[in-house]
Amino acid sequence: MLLRLVCIAVVLATSDSFNSFPQRNAIETLYRWKQIDYAFPSPQRRRLAIQNGEFNQINVIPLGIERWQDRVFVSTPRWKKGVPATLSSLPVASQEESPLLAPYPSWDWHNADNCTGFTSIYRMSIDDCGVMWVLDSGQVEAFETARQLCPPTLFAISLATDTVVGRFPIPSEYVLQNSLITNLVVDSRDAQCRDLHVYIADAWRFGLIVFRDSDTSFWRFNHYSFYPEPLLSNYTLHGLNYQWSDGLFGMSLGQYQLGDRPLYYHSMSSSLEFVVKTSVIRDPSRVNNAVDEFKLLGDSRGLRGQVSAAAIDRNGVMLFNLISQDSIGCWDTRKEYKLHNLRIVAQNNETLVFPNDLRIDHEVPQLGWIITNRLPMYQFNLINPNEYNYRVMFIDPNAAIEGTVCQPFENDHGYYL
């Protein structure tokens, strides 16, 4: 069936924290699946994978999303048994509504032993030079009986040649017992990607790990702002009540000015947004003397204000996933972080159920890319294989914020810090 890009009429939010602004034609669905399937080398190979337990379709869930030129990349972590590949690519333009995932860069990287290939990839972040930085947890079956097969590892993949050009295991001194190394954002500041750093979140042991590309070194910051809020650790989504105490999770980079730029961040189980100057976290000598540099931005988003991922476009506007409200919010980073400066710009209680990852691409004009995956239902084995459960969606930031408080004024400069 020919792909039909589904235009979503965004409905009025029922937020208990800040207002919505209905905006049509800003967000669309590129792909949707009831269950995920892969482009196996042959039908016989697929049947064999099912027979020997390597492929159990109900256990496959998409998690991370990135876009580079004519491709989107999707991760499928090995949280349960039966996930044959953990990173795949798809065309931006396709003739299928529910395409097969093509393991990336090849099947060989997903079958390697001795930690030479991919184990369980969570998320990806692409730098300005076309290198995709990939975060591999090294852990399998986290939702069953977790097994740490390999150290958490940062991979670098050249998207021009589709080859892995770097593999950087995170040193054991920065990975604590029961760490959940779950998200990353790459900080590249010019066309040559000099002085590149990667910021990595540890959601369960509440740390920020920094990687410096020039000498492949790591260091770790710990801070009380990386912890969850107790009251925000209790969730209810479409009648399902569950408890997650996830700390530091979402990170987004502000605009580069006067030799510095801010890193905005939040815990998933929290209603608060924080900020730190990247000049601080790029300096390993500040690990033990930077406690006052991590600052609260402003208002709480309210009791249903949990946010997974966030990203900031070239205009300095942040988009963020409101996972308990089936919604996407916005904030102009030049303005104070107050409720009257936040808006919901997309909401849908069918297509936006648990918007998990969000990235803004490098194209002109830019688009935001979102994975929605009903993660709580997946965790508790409540996925209905007869419904559409997983979606790759995209949003036009300019169209989404037009006429809202998130739309920057032409003479706006700087950022709020």
Domain CATH number, residue 377: 2.120.10.30
Please tell me the predicted confidence (pLDDT) of residue 170. Answer: 98
* Percent share of the chain, pLDDT over 70: 92
Is the per-residue pLDDT at 386 higher than 90?
yes
Confidence of residue 112 (pLDDT cuts 50, 70, 90): confident
Identify the three-state secondary structure at position 109: helix
Task: Give CA–CA dist 293/248, Å, rounded.
Answer: 16
* 382 within some domain: yes
Task: Give CA–CA dist 83/36, Å, rounded.
Answer: 10
Is the per-residue pLDDT at 26 higher than 80?
yes
Q: Name residues whose C-beta falls within 8 Å of residue 48's C-beta, 6 or more positions apart in sequence.
A: 54
Task: Give CA–CA dist 244/247, Å, rounded.
Answer: 9
Average pLDDT, the chain: 93
Alpha helices in 268-409 (DSSP H): 278-281, 375-379, 397-401
Is the per-residue pLDDT at 15 higher than 60?
no
pLDDT per residue as tens digits for the range 311-354: 999 999 999 999 999 999 999 999 999 999 999 999 999 999 99
Please tell me the predicted confidence (pLDDT) of residue 23. Answer: 55
Please tell me the predicted confidence (pLDDT) of residue 208. Answer: 98
* 239 within some domain: yes
Q: Is the peptide bond before 41 cis (omega within 30 degrees of 0)?
A: no
* 416 within some domain: no
Average pLDDT over residues 234-243: 97
Is the per-residue pLDDT at 12 higher than 50?
no
Which residues face 28 on adjacent strands? 7, 394
Our count of domains for the chain comes to: 1
Please tell me the predicted confidence (pLDDT) of residue 255. Answer: 93
Average pLDDT over residues 287-306: 96
What does the DSSP assignment read for 246-283?
--EEEEEE---BTTB-EEEEEESS-S--EEEEHHHHT-
* 80 within some domain: yes
Tokens describing residue 9:
């009429």
Identify the three-state secondary structure at position 299: coil
Specify the residue for token string 């979503």.
8
pLDDT per residue as tens digits for the range 43-79: 999 999 999 999 999 999 999 999 999 999 999 999 9
* 113 within some domain: yes
Confidence of residue 359 (pLDDT cuts 50, 70, 90): very high
* 1 within some domain: no
Confidence of residue 11 (pLDDT cuts 50, 70, 90): very low
Contact 221, 281 (CB under 8 A): yes
Please tell me the predicted confidence (pLDDT) of residue 14. Answer: 37
Is the per-residue pLDDT at 402 higher than 70?
yes
Task: Give CA–CA dist 323/252, Å, rounded.
Answer: 17
pTM over 0.75? The answer is yes
Please tell me the predicted confidence (pLDDT) of residue 125. Answer: 98
Is the per-residue pLDDT at 24 higher than 80?
no
Domain that holds residue 276: 29-401
CB burial of 51-64 (b: ≥16 within 10 Å; e: otherwise) equals eeebbeeebbbbbb
Please tell me the predicted confidence (pLDDT) of residue 67. Answer: 98
* 5 within some domain: no
Identify the three-state secondary structure at position 174: helix
Please tell me the predicted confidence (pLDDT) of residue 115. Answer: 93
* 206 within some domain: yes
pLDDT per residue as tens digits for the range 146-195: 999 999 999 999 999 999 999 999 999 999 999 999 999 999 988 899 89
Q: Name residues whose C-beta falls within 8 Å of residue 405's C-beta, 6 or more positions apart in sequence.
A: 332, 335, 340, 341, 342, 343
